Amino acid sequence: MQKITPFLWFDDQAEEAVNFYTALFKNSKIGRIFRYNEEAAEKTGRPVGSVLTIEFEIEGQKFVALNGGPLFKFNESVSFVINCETQEEVDYFWGKLTADGGEESACGWLSDKFGLSWQVTPTVLIDMLHDNDQEKSGRVMQAMLQMKKIDIKALKDACER
């Protein structure tokens, strides 16, 4: 068992979200599902037998999704980074995560249809931002600040100017 597991609070879409995320990432799986029993359902107003928690794994990272009601909502103060090797991978995740109500933000950030924040980040961006040549890394930063979805070619062009 991993030492720290992200626990994601949904209103009542935990199962839908888990199905979405595990379909999106190739190396993923759904684990155990715990359902509301009579006592828990009575206290929360949830239907008996509906999903309380559902365990899932993406790329070796374990998560738990909870149907906890409308009390708490996701915000941008917590996000998950998807490290991408190619523009095709950036485009894939960006397209899937912004579909059906997801929202684009700036600098590779977005929120999916459930309100969860993601950073779709090409690994080459991180390397270029850490370049020892501060002029190059500065140009890359300026280029990135103009983007919503990250464009690797534009970053490389900025780096090499």
Buried b (16+ CB within 10 A) or exposed e, 93-131: bbebbbeeebeeeeebbbbbbbbbbbbbbbebbeebeee
Which pLDDT belongs to residue 38? Answer: 94
C-alpha span between 96 and 112 (Å, rounded): 9
Residue 101 phi/psi, 5-degree rounding, is: 110, -5
pLDDT in tens, 17-49: 999 999 999 999 999 999 999 998 888 889 999
Residue 152 pLDDT more than 90?
yes
On whether both 91 and 65 belong to a single domain, the answer is no
Q: Which domain holds residue 147?
A: 74-161
SS3 at position 73: coil
Q: Give the pLDDT of residue 155.
A: 97
Segment 107-136, tens digit of pLDDT: 999 999 999 999 999 999 999 999 999 999
Total of domains in the chain: 2
- Residues 128 and 141 both lie in one domain: yes
Q: Phi then psi for 30, rounded to 5 degrees? A: -95, 140
- What pLDDT does residue 43 have? 86
Q: Given this model, what pLDDT does residue 51 score?
A: 96
CATH number at residue 25: 3.10.180.10
Can you tell me whether residue 55 is helix, strand or coil?
strand
Q: What's this model's pTM, rounded to 2 decimal places?
A: 0.92
Mean pLDDT for all residues in the chain: 96
Q: Indicate if 32 and 92 belong to the same structural domain.
A: no
Mean pLDDT of 45-64: 96
Statement to judge: residues 58 and 91 lie in one domain: no
Pair (49, 66) in one structural domain: yes
Residues 58 and 134 in one domain: no
Confidence (pLDDT) at 1: 76
